[in-house]
Structures are given as structure tokens and as C-alpha cells.
Structure 1
Amino acid sequence: MYRGIRCFVPNEKGRILGNVLEPVDFIKYVWKIGNSEAYFVNQNNHFEDFFSDDDYELGIVGADLQRRFEENSYYTIFVDLQGYPSEQFEAITTYEDFVKSNCEIVILLTDCTYLDIYCKDRQLIEKLYNHAKTLPVKGLHCLSDENDGRTGMVAF
């Protein structure tokens, strides 16, 4: 059974995370922000926080998150996102928690380059995989029960 995809993204500022996530319908979800370290790159080439304190506390609606990914250059170090159909967030610390929860998608980026996307929708997994093949990512493969050793569902 497929769980999601894994790949390595370039360690550089830009829009690569948004590009990889293009097949995701962000508007369908309210996003819970876990431990994350990500920055907008402003006009002066300085970094500003990608997520606000309110984002961490309340979550972020899909349209706002999508706009941030599409309209800005940014640099991501760690990103922990969980997409829910409503604002009823749950504590997810393991893959089993994810399976039992109402969370539909988990996006984990660690150390700037290691990207894991877990999704309950097999068709979306296939769309993400096929789309990622067209991008400058490396080591792309589908995660399955047989090849995924991840136990914790956190970025760091």
C-alpha cells in the first residue's frame, strides 16, 4: 500500500516546495503548522518569517498557504504541515496516528532537502509522483509499507 512520496529538493531559495506541491488542492484543507523554520526572501534579499505566531496557534487556511507558496521566494529549513478538512486538529506523532486521524496529508521537509509527503488519497500520491518527475528533484520514489521506516511524523 502506498503511503506517499519521498524526494530530495534543491537546498536553495525559490519556490521548489510550492512547485512540488502543485497537484495538492490547498483550498480543501485547513493546515496545522508544526515545528517549522521557513523564511520569505524580501526585496532586499533578507529573510522574514514564513509562518506567524497566529499560524502556529490557529493554523492557516488553504488559500493563504497556497498564495504564500506561489507568490513568494522563500527558504525552507524544516517544514511540518498537516492538512485537515476542518479546523479539528489532532495530535499526530506516528504514522499510525496519521492513519487513524482525520488528517488527509502530511508534508515533512527536514534539513532543507529531505521531503516526505504522506497522503491518504492514492490518486493524489500518483499525481504528486508524476508531477515531481518533471521537477529538479532527486531520489524520487513512492513510500510504501515495505520501504518506509519512518515512525515519527515530525520534521524535527
Structure 2
Amino acid sequence: MIPAKYGNLLADILVPIDTKQYNWYVATSECIVEHISLNEDLLPELQLKGRELDERIKRRPYYINFIDLKAFPVGDEVHDIETYEDFLESKSEVVLLIADTAYTTIYCKDKDTIKKVFENTRNFGFENVEYITDENDSRTRLAVY
């Protein structure tokens, strides 16, 4: 569980992932930038280059209500992924889902990277961190809503 507060939490979560080496699909997002109109979302576009995502998630504090991000290697088609099976069959390397501010799920195809993400979340003091397996994953869709 991540803290329900303004900060750069996406940057914190994604420390072990080189966000710049991917293009990102933003299926849905409501991350409100601090001291900006409530109508300004951190990630209003459907697609972002990694450098642009990296800059935005580090620039100013924001509050995450929900977000649905999918990472694809540069040069591959960027699109939404709806199921775990679609994720496995796609070129997507990472899926990040945050719902209701606190419920965070990260899928990653690279086992070394997911281990680093797991350790990173513990280093930042995030609570109730656990690995998702076929036995404990109750999701039927890879979406926050």
C-alpha cells in the first residue's frame, strides 16, 4: 500500500525500471498535480515517450487517485492490454495499476526487475507488499476500473 499523500510516488515505485527505455500507454489516469487546478492531470495523454514520463513523474508533487500504465519497448506498438493473457502475449514489459490511491499492482516480465521492484517498495516503506502468483491473483482484467 502506498501513502495517500502528495509526492512523487510513481518515480519512487519505478526506481528499478528504466522508464526512458519504454514508450508508455496511459489507459486511465487521475494524478492531480499539487498547487495546480484540479482539472490538470499529470498524465493526460494516451501515449508518452519514456523521457517525457520520467520528467513528469519527478518534476512536481502529485496525488494519485488511480492510474493504469503499460510499458512497451521503443519501436513496438503501444496499446491497451486488458487481460493477463494479453500481457503475456504482448510486447509489453511492465504494467502498473494503482486504484483508490493505495492499491498498487505491478506486473513485470523480467524476474530480476520484479525482484528489484519488490525490494524497492520495501525500502520506501510501502506496506503490505507481496508477490502476485497464479494462486493469489484475483484480477480478471488488467485495469483499475
- TM class, shorter-chain normalised? over 0.9
CA distance in 2, matches of 1:49, 1:147: 32
Q: Name the counterpart of 2:99.
A: 110
Q: How much does 1:119 deviate?
A: 0.5
Q: Which has the higher contact order (CA 8 A, sep 6+)?
A: 1
Give the total of aligned pairs.
143
CA distance in 2, matches of 1:22, 1:92: 23
- Out of 14, 18, 32, the position equivalent to 2:11 is 18
- Out of 62, 74, 78, the position equivalent to 2:62 is 74
Q: Please list, as runs of the form range in 1=range in 2, the aligned pairs for 1:26-41 lying within 5 A after superposition.
A: 26-41=19-34
Contact 1:36 1:155 in 2 (8 A): no
CA distance in 2, matches of 1:20, 1:154: 18
- Out of 131, 138, 142, the position equivalent to 2:120 is 131
Unaligned residue ranges in structure 2 (runs of 5+): none
The TM-score, its normalising length taken from structure 1, stands at 0.86
Q: Give aligned-pair identity as a percent.
A: 32
The TM-score, its normalising length taken from structure 2, stands at 0.92
Unaligned residue ranges in structure 1 (runs of 5+): 1-7
Contact 2:69 2:96 in 1 (8 A): yes
* Structure number having the greater strand percentage: 1
Q: Which runs of 4+ in 1 moved over 3 A?
A: none
Deviates more, 1:32-41 or 1:117-126: 32-41
Q: Name the counterpart of 1:143.
A: 132
Contact 1:27 1:62 in 2 (8 A): yes
Q: How much does 1:31 deviate?
A: 0.3
